[in-house]
Every structure is written in C-alpha cells, then in structure tokens.
Chains A and B, each alone.
Chain A
C-alpha cells in the first residue's frame, strides 16, 4: 500500500470523526487510535479490499466501544465544547451558527443513528457498505436511518437556541438506548 494512499484518507477520517464526536480533540484522538489499530491489525485486512471502508470500520468499532465505556463523560463534555465556540464568536454569521446548531442536534442522536446518518449522507456510502462497516444487518441500517432522519428533523424544527445559551442538561441526558 502506497503511503500517499493512506495519507489521503486522513482528512476524510478527521472530518467524519469531528461530526461523530462533536469535539476537535476527541476526533483527532479517535483518528489516531484508528491508525494505530490499523497498524497492528493489518492481518485482518485482505489486499484488494477497500482501504477506506476498512478504516471506517476500524474507527466505528473503536468509537462504539469508547461510547459504551464513557457515555456520560462524552455527552457531558460536548455541550461545553460547543458553548465555548459560541461564546467566542463576536458576530456569528449564519453559516457558522447553522453548523454549530447542526452539530449540536447530531450529538443528541443516539450514537448508532448518528453513525448511520453520517456514513450515508456525509460519506456517501451505499447501504450495503454501511451494513458492512457497522457490522449490522441491512434492515437495521435502514431502520436506524429512518429514525435518525425523523429525529434530526424534529431537532432542526425545534425553536432555535440563541448563541450563548447553555444547552439544558435534560437535552444532553443519556437518551434511551435501544439494544437494536
């Protein structure tokens, strides 16, 4: 494998990790963990298969197990990060405010729904690819996609939160996690 091929994957991985975690440093940590695990687990990757899909699969597994271990810490952390950003903005333009708002809404989705939605909409993966990356059946992927889209629409339609307002803790409370 050409080193430049691997390097070319990093910006995409960083961006996806940013949207997944909502936190710049957590995102880069996740990418680093992914690259390091890819180094030690190379035997599991057969030559000729899709490098990008495999890296996303490694990242997905790492993130899912991270989430299982520190769900509360993660959710408590992210609103602070987003609020810090909004405090620093003197006169946020519409795009930035919208982006912060979108990220905030994304973080209120359960992790499995957020993952599927990002892989489909941000990463343009086919449903079959998403099923492989997440290790779930296709039906589960479609069901999560439905819930993610419906839920995100509800969040986007909710009354806008003014910059500088802290997110009420009830919104950031652990959501009901279905085992599915």
Chain B
C-alpha cells in the first residue's frame, strides 16, 4: 500500500465525509484512508452524531402555525416583490433605476405609503407630459389621410429631422416582431421643448404612438439621471410612460396593460 493512501485525513476531508459534500469517486478514496485512521473514524462518528442531533433540534417549530405578525410581514414583502418582478422582467434597466408605481397598479397601495421617497412623489412634470402624449394620440391616431407628417418611406430623414429638433440622437424602435410597423412621425410642441411622435400600426389597424421629448430645459437635464416607470389609465387611452436621463417617453395604445407592457419593454430595450 503506498503512503498516499495511508495519509491521515485533514479536518476538511472529515467535514466533506460527514456532510456528504464530496463526489462519489473521491468519497471511496477518502473512505479507504479513513479505514486506516482510527482517530479520524472516532471524530467522524462524533460529528455525524452532532449533525443528527442538530437536524432534530426544534423540529416541532416547523409544524407550528406561523404567528400573524410574521404572516403580515411576509404578505407585504411578497407584494413588493411581485411588483418588482414585473419591472425586472423588462430587463436591461439602467443602473440607478428608480421605480415608481402608479395608483391602481399595485394591489396594495400601502407600499407606496410606506415608501414616500419613491419617484411617484417626485414626478410632477411627468404627469403633464403624459397628458400631452395622450392628447397627441387622441388627435392623430384616428387620422386616415394625414396621421403623420413624414411617412416611413422617408424614415432616415424623419429621424434626422426630429433628432435635430429635439437635441438628441433619436432611434426608432423596430416593432415588427410584435406585429407593428412604422407609419411615420411628426414634430409637436411641448412646454419644455419640442416633442416627437412616432406612430405604428399592426395588421388589425390598431395604432400605437411613441411620444418623447425633453422634460426639463436642456441646462437642467443633466440632473435627471434616474429612470422611473408609470402606467396610467386615467384618460381614455392607456399609456405607459417613463423618464430616463431627462427625457420623457410615453407609449399609448388601446391595448390591455400586459400587452402594452410587453411593447414598452421592447421599446425600452431598443432605445
């Protein structure tokens, strides 16, 4: 027998044997060495007994009914997590993202009451923005002959023109995977500067508009480094809007919340 196989076992080797945290091939090798080491055998036996005792300790607690303060704490945590999960599924969010929940989205609005520092308390400019987005959608989406000012046939020109007016390089999202194609876009006025509206349409004729523009005067936009999301159905057209780095984005369409959220996700990821 070589000296390798009669080497005394180290503590770490004893632990992996006791806790069964070793691959079966290595296990046989260790057990062979264990057979030659009576001291180690005694310790392994002791530690195994300890583990057995610990596994049995307070087992009855596992069957007890959970006290109601703990149930309540768990309920609030689960609610917050559920809302968070929806947002995280959007994926690819910028670092420093701050999430805001519009009234009526969260099932339990006490979360907002307990988190007064959340963005929802800090977005007064955005509600005006999204209202403008809705008006623009309501006015132009029903148009048959002139829904847009520049059509998708001149997409490059459209993007270049609006980028110049808005003072930021714009990108038109590609929503063909979701069944929407670009109809075109137009320039619109806004109280904080020029706005752009892009219109999309699917096979069923449903129209979707993406409305965007600076929220603050250019000099102040550096300060707005955060992103916030909000979904509202206050008006006739459901809208999903967010703020990122001083720009507001509003996606409006006569769709169910989940469908609109998926589209917002697709748009957000591309911009």
Contacts and interface: CB of A to CB of B under 8 A. Distances in A.
Interface of A: 1-3, 6-7, 10-12, 14-15, 18-19, 28, 31-32, 35-36, 38-40, 42-43, 46-47, 98-99, 102-103, 117-118, 120-122, 126-127, 142, 145-146, 149, 152-153, 156
B224 to A, nearest CB: 20
Contact of A121 (B54, B71, B77, B79): B54
A7 B57 contact: no
B26 to A, nearest CB: 15
Contacts of A122: 54-55, 57
Nearest to B71: A7
B47 to A, nearest CB: 5
A3 B85 CA distance: 12
Contacts of B57: 15, 19, 99, 102-103, 122
B53 A102 contact: yes
Contacts of B82: 1, 3
Contacts of A156: 50
B7 interface: no
Nearest to A31: B70
A117 B54 contact: yes
A98 B62 contact: no
Which of B66, B74, B76, B80 neighbours the largest number of chain A CB atoms within 10 Å of its CB? B74
List 8 tightest A-B contacts by C-beta distance, closest first: A35-B73, A3-B78, A121-B54, A39-B77, A1-B81, A15-B61, A121-B51, A146-B11
30 contacts: A1-B81, A1-B85, A3-B79, A6-B74, A6-B77, A6-B81, A7-B66, A7-B74, A11-B63, A11-B64, A11-B66, A15-B59, A15-B62, A18-B58, A18-B61, A32-B70, A36-B76, A42-B81, A47-B85, A99-B57, A102-B54, A117-B54, A120-B15, A120-B19, A121-B51, A122-B54, A142-B15, A149-B47, A153-B46, A153-B47
Secondary structure of the B side of the interface?
helix
A46 B92 CA distance: 12
Interface string B66-99: 1101110111111111101100110000000000
Given A35-B74, A35-B77, 16 more contacts: A6-B77, A7-B71, A11-B62, A14-B61, A28-B69, A31-B70, A32-B70, A38-B77, A99-B58, A103-B57, A121-B54, A127-B15, A127-B21, A142-B12, A146-B15, A153-B46
Contacts of B81: 1, 6, 42
A125 B4 CA distance: 30
Contacts of B80: 39, 42
Contacts of B75: 3
Nearest to A48: B88
A130 B15 CA distance: 14
Contacts of B50: 121, 149, 152-153, 156
In this complex, the member of A38, A46, A98 whose beta carbon has the largest number of chain B beta carbons within 10 angstroms is A38
A22 to B, nearest CB: 10
Contacts of B77: 6, 35-36, 38-39, 42
A149 B48 CA distance: 10
Contacts of A102: 53-54, 57
B69 to A, nearest CB: 6
Contacts of A36: 73, 76-77
